[in-house]
Structure 1
Amino acid sequence: MTRAVRAGMDFISALDRGSLGGLARLCAPDATWWVDTGPDRRGGDPDLAPTGSGRFPLHGVMRMDDKLALMRALGPGAFPTGCRQIPRRVVAGDDTCVIEVEGYGVHAGGLEYANRYGFVFDVDPAGAVVAVREYLDTSHAQHVVGGGAAVPRSSLDRRPARAASGPAAAPRPLRAALAMWPALARGDLDAFGALFTADATWWTDSGRHRDRGRLHGWGDLDANGPFHGRVPMTAKLAAMRARLAGGAYRSAAVEVTADRWVVDDTLVAVEAHGDATLGDGSRYQNRYLWIVDVRAGGIAEVREYCDTLHIADLMGFDAEVGR
């Protein structure tokens, strides 16, 4: 077990127990915790908003001390019977690891909270956590924990740089994972689809319909657009083709920049951000964590963690009521 995995698993265990002191002891003094920010894209950009958005639960970057103080202030009253955190899959690196987690609790307001997370942990040479980045279903989190309060919209002024191709000696799984983005930016869904195995699947979370988004269940692509759970890649490609043909984008499609990655055997975890101009002229600027499982015949599975509230805000899909 690498030091990053050990620290990350200890962090999830302390979170599961509700041990805020345990979380503090695992972290370096200047550690930070990031969560995305829904329609407020600037608030979630660490460069443009280094102190975050100031809104809970979608706060952008927060100092770990401030985050834990906020959690103490909310106290057990937020989840009177606790909020479980169950690790499901790990992508291991030495200084960085990714842990997929399922959480469940009943909020004090009476709503069930059943989120799925991709936690990214950066650790220092001593094994202390220096940064946590939490990718989750932001629409579900805002609906349950944020009380459904409105989030103001902002956009980023700068366009992303072109995605890097990866190191020259990149392992085959990383090359396959990074090859998705140039094809997608061109809107070349033939080249994009050719990267996948015949039985490949694509998962993204599911808004209010929590059962549909279970990681090992089957979702429903027709029920609520992009909030579909696990679906066959053939169906996902058909939906993407229909969206392009319907004039969803003024740009060719979504231009993705891969920011960081971790490679663990066949698994590749990629943090990235995307940019597109939609048909109505609005800017789609999401931030992602993809878990890509690359097998001998191609990409067998993708799990996509992203800011679902940003999608709901711009694309006309209400993640909380269905349509």
Structure 2
Amino acid sequence: MTRAVRAGMDFISALDRGSLGGLARLCAPGATWWVDSGPDRRGGDPDLAPNGSGRFPLHGVMRMDEKLALMRALGPDAFPTGCRQIPRRVIADDDVCVIEVEGFGVHASGLEYANRYGFVFDVDAAGAVVSVREYLDTIHAQQVVGGGATVPRSSLDGRAGRADRAAPDLAGAPPSVVSSLAMWPALARGDIDAFAALFTADATWWTDSGRDRDRGRPHGRGDIGANGPFHGTVPMAEKLHAMRARLATGAYRSAAVDVTAHRWVADDTLVAIEASGDATLGDGSRYQNRYLWIVDVRPGGIAGVREYCDTLHIADIMGFEAEDA
């Protein structure tokens, strides 16, 4: 077990127990916690808003001590019977650990909270957590924990997130990483045939499902016709059909979504990629999302993709009603 895996798993365990002191002891001084920020794209950008958006739960970057103080102030009243955090899959090297997690609790409002997360932990040489990045279904988080409050819209001046920074150097990268990253040039060109050729015949694609929590169960059967991108697990053939249909409607002024990978972690057949996406929609709006992709690469091609991103931004900018998602 690497120091990153140990730190990440200990962090999820402390979060599961509701031990804020345990979380604090795992972190280095100056550690931060990031969550994306819905329609407020500037508020979630670490460069443009290094102190975050000031809104909970979609707060951008927060200092860890401030985040834990806020959680302490909210106290057990937010989730009177606790909020479980169950780790499912781990991808890691010595310094970075990615953990897929399923959470469940009953909020004080009576609403069930059942989110799915991709946590990314950076650790230092001593094994202390220096950064937590939490990718989750922001529609569901805002609905339950944020009380459904409206999030103001803002856009980035340039490309999405940190897309102006150089992509990782692929020299010596494992074949699984090369295969995973080959998706994005094809997608940026709008070449769905080239994109499709990278996948196995039985491949699947998962994204979370907003207000319909049952549809997004990772090991269930999703429904891509129910509400566009918030579909759960669907066969890749259905995903490709929906992508072609969206391009055919003129949804984009750009060819499609231009995705820039910022870094990756590979472990056996799994590759975790942090990335940002940028597109100009047909009405001139800017789609500027931030992603964590979990890609399962097999000898015959990509067998599965799990897409963690800011669902509330999608609902806001692409015309899918968050109330119905």
Pairing 1:53–2:40 present:
no
Q: How has the CA–CA distance of structure 1 residues 292 and 72 changed in structure 2, closer, same or farther, with 3 Å as cutoff?
A: same
Does the CA contact (< 8 Å) of 1:227 and 1:319 recur in 2?
no
- Per the TM alignment, residue 93 of structure 1 is displaced from its structure 2 partner at its CA by 1.3
Does the CA contact (< 8 Å) of 2:211 and 2:322 recur in 1?
yes
Does the CA contact (< 8 Å) of 2:316 and 2:322 recur in 1?
no
Distance 1:276 1:116 in 2: 26
Partner of 1:270: 273
- Per the TM alignment, residue 161 of structure 1 is displaced from its structure 2 partner at its CA by 3.4
Following superposition of structure 1 onto structure 2, how do residues 1-323 of structure 1 map, counting pairs within 5 Å? 1-159=1-159, 160-161=163-164, 164=167, 166-322=169-325
Q: Tell me the percent identity.
A: 84
- Per the TM alignment, residue 205 of structure 1 is displaced from its structure 2 partner at its CA by 0.1
Q: Structure 2: state its 5+ residue gaps.
A: none
Does the CA contact (< 8 Å) of 1:34 and 1:60 recur in 2?
yes
Distance 2:298 2:314 in 1: 30
Distance 2:304 2:50 in 1: 34
For residues 110-139 of structure 1, the C-alpha deviation after alignment (integer angstroms, 9 at most, x for no partner) is 110000000000000000000000000000
- The TM-score with structure 1 as length reference comes to 0.98
For residues 276-314 of structure 1, the C-alpha deviation after alignment (integer angstroms, 9 at most, x for no partner) is 000110000000000000000000000000000000001
- The TM-score with structure 2 as length reference comes to 0.98
Does the CA contact (< 8 Å) of 1:162 and 1:256 recur in 2?
no
Does the CA contact (< 8 Å) of 1:140 and 1:320 recur in 2?
no
SS in 2 for 1:213: coil
Distance 1:310 1:23 in 2: 29
- Per the TM alignment, residue 162 of structure 1 is displaced from its structure 2 partner at its CA by 8.1
Distance 1:13 1:39 in 2: 31
Quick one: which amino acid aligns to residue 318 of structure 1? E
Q: C-alpha root-mean-square deviation of aligned residues, in Å? A: 1.0
SS in 2 for 1:285: strand
Which segment is superposed worse, 163-172 or 150-159? Answer: 163-172
- Per the TM alignment, residue 165 of structure 1 is displaced from its structure 2 partner at its CA by 6.7
